[in-house]
């Protein structure tokens, strides 16, 4: 498995398996198990996904040695302060039935994420977390966190797909030593991604699917990606992206698809901040 090196020397697989919107416990467990059997070693979950226990069961069922795995989970907004972050982390660790987490992220840039970050730094120094990072942080909030804290985020997980390519954000993160990670690599099928003529024509050249072209495009940009599927066939296909390379012309054609804006949420919108702050998850 190809890896990237985080700013603290930790090796992170460049492709993993995401479990967002797989709330059904049995379906989630089976999907994660299939992913692990297919060769994935990075599994990405979150307290807010309500499926950490299912992920934990799949990990145990796989029998894969813990040191071979890279497990990510995330802190939800309601627990974004110093004391609650420690309690929430302990709950996630217990649900996953693990002794440590490889990557723990602040899920949204809201609440007292400074207090949460101090708690995460302590857990990091205690060896309970191998790397700490954030999700959905804009460049100015990411820089503010870097400047005013002891440990810089290792990862920033943000919406990234052919219609929202995040070139400036990628360059900024690379300059700061923060690993760019994509969520929503397929834009959840929006803008008819899976029938896009440009992506289909590129895929035809290499006998690859549109999904495989998109994932290859991301890893060639040195972006970590976590595709999700509950289909065993697609789970296997999504990791089969290391036997071809997109050409400069291919990359230019994909670059032209960029619309320069989110297809989901604007985190600078006060109504989004309000919604996230009021959205409680049962832990």
What tens digit of pLDDT does each residue of 145-178 get?
999 999 999 999 999 999 999 999 999 999 999 9
**Chain centre to alpha carbon of residue 260:** 20
Planar angle of CA 162, 155, 247, nearest 5 degrees: 35
* Domain spans in the chain, listed from the N-terminal domain onward: 11-275
Q: Catalytic amino acids?
A: 49
What is the Cα–Cα distance from 97 to 48, expressed in whole angstroms?
17
Domain 11-275: give its CATH superfamily: NADP-dependent oxidoreductase domain (3.20.20.100)
Cα separation, 127 vs 164, whole angstroms: 36
The token pair that represents 241 in the structure block: 């992206």
User: What is the pLDDT averaged over residues 59-70?
Assistant: 97
Query: Which of 188-192, 200-204, 213-217 is least confident?
Result: 188-192
**pLDDT tens per residue, range 138-153:** 999 999 999 999 999 9
Share of the chain above pLDDT 90, in %: 91
Q: Is residue 283's pLDDT more than 70?
A: no
pLDDT tens string 10-29? 999 999 999 998 989 999 99
């Amino acid at each position: 498995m190809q890896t990237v090196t985080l700013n603290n020397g930790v090796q992170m697989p460049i492709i993993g398996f995401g479990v967002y919107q797989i709330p059904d416990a049995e379906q989630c467990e089976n999907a994660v198990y299939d992913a692990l059997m297919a060769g994935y070693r990075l599994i990405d979950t979150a307290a807010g996904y309500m499926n950490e226990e299912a992920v934990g069961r799949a990990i145990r069922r796989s029998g894969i040695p813990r040191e071979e795995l890279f497990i990510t989970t995330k802190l939800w907004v309601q627990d974004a302060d110093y004391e609650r972050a420690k309690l929430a982390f302990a709950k996630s660790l217990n649900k996953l039935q693990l002794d440590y987490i490889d990557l723990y992220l602040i899920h949204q840039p809201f609440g007292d994420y400074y207090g949460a970050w101090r708690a995460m730094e302590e857990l990091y120094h205690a060896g309970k977390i191998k790397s700490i990072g954030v999700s959905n942080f804009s460049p100015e909030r990411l820089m503010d966190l870097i400047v005013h804290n002891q440990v810089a985020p290792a990862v920033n997980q943000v919406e990234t797909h052919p219609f929202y390519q995040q070139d400036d954000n990628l360059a900024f993160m690379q300059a700061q030593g923060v690993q760019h990670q994509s969520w929503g690599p397929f834009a959840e099928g929006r803008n008819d991604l899976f029938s896009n003529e440009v992506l289909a024509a590129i895929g035809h050249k290499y006998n690859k699917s549109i999904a495989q072209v998109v994932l290859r495009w991301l890893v060639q940009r040195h972006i970590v990606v976590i595709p999700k599927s509950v289909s065993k066939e697609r789970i296997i296909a999504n990791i089969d992206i290391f036997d071809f390379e997109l050409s400069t012309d291919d990359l230019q054609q994909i670059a032209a698809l960029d619309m320069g804006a989110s297809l989901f949420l604007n985190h600078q919108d006060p109504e989004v901040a309000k919604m996230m702050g009021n959205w409680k998850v049962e832990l």
